[in-house]
Structure 1
Amino acid sequence: MIWNHRITRIVVGLMLLTLVTVVSLPTITGFTSLDGTVNARFAVVNSPIDGTIAEEPLKVGSPVKAGQSLAEIRNTRVNRAILASLEADRNTALDRVAALKKEREELSALREELSGRLEVYKQTTIANLEREVEILRKKVEVSQAQDLVAQVDLSRRMQLESKGILTQKLVEAARAAGAATGGEVEISNLTVDQLQQRLNAVRQGIFVFGDGQNDVPYSRQREDEVVVRINDLNSRIAENETRATEVQKQLVKEANRVSSLESATAIAPFDGVVWARSIVNGSNVVLNDELMRLLDCRELFVDILVPEVNYDEIYPELVAQVRLFGRSDVFKGTVISVRGSSASVETDSFAASLPPSTQRNARIRVRLDPSFMNDDFANSCQVGRTVQVRFSKHGIDVSNWVKSLWFSIL
């Protein structure tokens, strides 16, 4: 028979050897894992305020752009007591400013009226003093004339007395009359000087009167009182204006705070996909309640398990080849972490489940290079899809394999 021929047996043996070689070649030349899953992190979008969802939020699977509105929240129960109190304080301060300014205007008008009265009084006093000075100067002229007559009469009598016509008594009477007229001239001159000094003082706004009289007119006293009152009003106006300005600043901040609590919009922090949501139109939420989860497709990765005996053969920055199950395309990836079988890993922020490890398997995380999957929002960036990951060996280390075998036998 043909099966008893030597050539047939040789051919069959070579075919079996080739089959064994082909089947064993991937294991000899590298590491391959079939339990990988395309994975990504998601971001939890929380409620920024208390309130009610005002509109229908985006549905699960909807692609979103960075800055896009995800959900509108309205709150009609915001506490406005502080805002109302600040508004009342500001209005009170502004009303006080208006009232004080009105009083200041009235006092300024009164001051102008008193100043006019004082000016009239001053001009009248100046005119009276000028007339008194003129009258006294006329009196001085009369006194000087009388003094001249007295001096002439004394000289004539002294001549007649020297001739024996008149007696000494008449001469002495004439001398006394001359001394009296000279004294009147001197007194009149002094009075004129005094009135002239008062006139000069009044022209400068200084009123000088005799003993027992006030040197300041009533109008000037009232004007001084009004000036003091106006200065006080200016201080109070400045104080209330400052108060109104500060309250206005607080009012703006409080209004912004109330506005931020009345309504808010949840904004997408990046381009991605709505992975899950926990709200509907009309849902009541409180601060920091979870609204929805956004899939972050900017960095996709794969977690795989390989026997822990190959731990040292796989290291960070090692290049890997990744193929989606059911596709012939091969994508490149890079190892970013290598962890032992007993290492604990986080799972709360991952969109897909991590492969469960029940044996002594090392957990390898491979970051996928940018590809069409990063922008495939319609298919949720292929997250959750099974992949095959392969690492190539640079050589076959027979000595390490013999040592491992010998160690296990001992």
Structure 2
Amino acid sequence: MRLARVVIGLVLLVGGLYVIIGEHFAGTSADATINARLYVVRAPIEGRVTLAVKSIGARVSPGEHVAEVTDERFDTARLLELERDRDNQRIELKRLAGQRDVLSQSRTGFDAQSTDYQRGRIRQIEARLAETKATQDAAAARLREADAEFKRANELSTRGVQTVAGLGKARATFDVAQQELESAQQRVNYFETELTSARAGVFIGESYNDAPFSTQRIRELDQRLAELQVDEEQVKARITQFDRQIDAEHLRVNRLTSATLNARVPGLIWDVLVDDGEHTRRGQDLLKLVDCNSLIITAGVSESLYDSLSIGAAVQFRLFGDERIFNGTVTRLGGSGGASLYANLAVGPSPQHLQRFDVTVTVPDLAQQPDLGCAVGRTGRVVFSSGPIARLRRFLTLYGF
């Protein structure tokens, strides 16, 4: 019985020494910290800042409103000038439209006057034409009478009854009647031509132009209305151009007078660098956010262990006070004095860490754990080569213990 106790004690002693010595010589880090990149929210414009999230450690989602910067002293003189010029062009457009309406009304009056003149002139020509045709018919009747008288005189003269003087008088009467008929025919042709032209809107005569005063005024007004139409189109084009410039200026003013800042990544408020209501400069840092999508493990190792590592090497990570073990991969070998590597990280290196060699490890499974999704700052240990405890834990896990 005593011998059995001695054997069991020796076995436990050897096992304990094996575990202690094995763990001591296993490739583990001296320290390891869950870290993440910092996302800095800066003021895009100068102005007064209003913080929507003020507590450090608050969780934010992508697109969530975190701050707003307002500049109430921004110079809007250019915008006011453009709006004033556009208003002047609108006033000019109204003036042109009013002038066009007045001229259109005048043209309507002259058009009615021209129509009345044309109708009166046509009736006048038709009356003269009718009178001339009556004169023509009378001349034709006189010509027939003179012709009959001339023939009788000629017959009597042949018989010797009519004297030469009587025959000459009959001839003269016939010639005069023939000339009167020809003259009447010419006047009929003239009035018919004048009537045809008058119906077409062209008035011919000896003492007036081819168009009456009203028609001439209509032509002048049509030309002026066409010019006003061109002026209106130009003013409308300028108003459209001013509208585009004003819209662009509004966008510029809105960008420079007010800026709404939203979180671009899911994370935590790591630090608040300004007070609510403080006047900030353009480009000034306002907030620091931890990017929870960029969790990494920063660890410090000895030089001998560092020389045996390589990019892509598989490792294990375990938090202090937590039995869970997570698989990871070496993604960066920072070497000694890696203080510059922590400029954009949430947790900086300790003086002891800077005396060691820096190694960066990614552990994708951390983001899948509800309690570790953004556990920046928690510490643990990275195992680069398995020790006795790790082998024992894998054995128990493999066989379901």
TM-score (norm 1): 0.86
Secondary structure (helix, strand or coil) at the match of 1:371 reads helix
Q: What is aligned with 1:294? A: 289
Contact 1:276 1:294 in 2 (8 A): yes
Secondary structure (helix, strand or coil) at the match of 1:249 reads helix
Q: What is aligned with 2:218? A: 223
Amino acid in structure 2 at the alignment position of 1:118? S
The verdict on how the C-alpha distance between 1:338 and 1:346 changes in structure 2, with shifts beyond 3 A counting, is closer
Name the CA distance, whole Å, in 1 between partners of 2:135 and 2:5: 174
The verdict on how the C-alpha distance between 1:21 and 1:67 changes in structure 2, with shifts beyond 3 A counting, is same
Q: What is aligned with 1:147? A: 143
Name the CA distance, whole Å, in 2 between partners of 1:37 and 1:114: 96
1:339-378 mapped onto 2 (5 Å cutoff)? 339-341=334-336, 345-356=340-351, 361-371=356-366, 376=371
Deviation at 1:163, TM superposition (A): 2.2
Alignment match of 1:261 (pick from 231, 237, 256): 256
The verdict on how the C-alpha distance between 1:221 and 1:162 changes in structure 2, with shifts beyond 3 A counting, is same
Segments of 5+ residues of structure 1 without an aligned counterpart are 1-5, 395-410
The verdict on how the C-alpha distance between 1:47 and 1:109 changes in structure 2, with shifts beyond 3 A counting, is same
1:15-94 mapped onto 2 (5 Å cutoff)? 18-26=15-23, 30-54=26-50, 57-94=53-90
CA RMSD, aligned part only? 2.8
Q: What is aligned with 1:385? A: 378
Contact 2:52 2:66 in 1 (8 A): no
Verify: 1:138 aligned to 2:131, yes or no.
no
Amino acid in structure 1 at the alignment position of 2:315? A
Alignment match of 1:100 (pick from 96, 99, 123): 96
Deviations 1:116-148 (A, max 9, x none): 111111111111111111100000000001111
Secondary structure (helix, strand or coil) at the match of 2:289 reads strand
Deviation at 1:172, TM superposition (A): 1.4
Alignment match of 1:163 (pick from 159, 162, 170): 159
Deviations 1:66-89 (A, max 9, x none): 111112322221211111111111
Deviations 1:227-278 (A, max 9, x none): 1100100000000011111101111221232233333222111211110011
Deviation at 1:357, TM superposition (A): 6.6
The verdict on how the C-alpha distance between 1:15 and 1:125 changes in structure 2, with shifts beyond 3 A counting, is closer
Name the CA distance, whole Å, in 2 between partners of 1:7 and 1:146: 179
Name the CA distance, whole Å, in 2 between partners of 1:286 and 1:101: 50
Q: What is aligned with 2:122? A: 126
Name the CA distance, whole Å, in 2 between partners of 1:376 and 1:358: 26
Name the CA distance, whole Å, in 2 between partners of 1:215 and 1:91: 46
> Which one is further off, 268-277 or 163-172?
163-172
| Identity in percent | 27
Deviations 1:82-112 (A, max 9, x none): 1111111111111111110111111111111
Name the CA distance, whole Å, in 1 between partners of 2:193 and 2:225: 34
Amino acid in structure 1 at the alignment position of 2:111? S
Verify: 1:197 aligned to 2:193, yes or no.
yes
Name the CA distance, whole Å, in 1 between partners of 2:44 and 2:353: 42
Verify: 1:317 aligned to 2:312, yes or no.
yes
Deviation at 1:33, TM superposition (A): 0.9
Contact 2:201 2:211 in 1 (8 A): no
Name the CA distance, whole Å, in 1 between partners of 2:365 and 2:14: 41
Deviations 1:43-79 (A, max 9, x none): 0001122211245642111111111111232222121
Contact 1:298 1:374 in 2 (8 A): no
The verdict on how the C-alpha distance between 1:11 and 1:69 changes in structure 2, with shifts beyond 3 A counting, is closer
Deviations 1:301-334 (A, max 9, x none): 1222223333453222222111112222222221
Name the CA distance, whole Å, in 2 between partners of 1:332 and 1:277: 34
Deviations 1:190-248 (A, max 9, x none): 111111011101101111122x6422211111111101100100000000011111101
Secondary structure (helix, strand or coil) at the match of 1:349 reads coil
Q: What is aligned with 2:242? A: 247
Contact 1:58 1:71 in 2 (8 A): no
Name the CA distance, whole Å, in 2 between partners of 1:223 and 1:350: 84
Amino acid in structure 1 at the alignment position of 2:70? R
Q: Which runs of 4+ in 1 moved over 6 A?
A: 6-16, 357-360
Equivalent pairs, count: 386
Contact 1:303 1:366 in 2 (8 A): yes
Secondary structure (helix, strand or coil) at the match of 1:101 reads helix
Name the CA distance, whole Å, in 2 between partners of 1:12 and 1:64: 57
Contact 1:32 1:389 in 2 (8 A): yes
Contact 2:339 2:349 in 1 (8 A): no
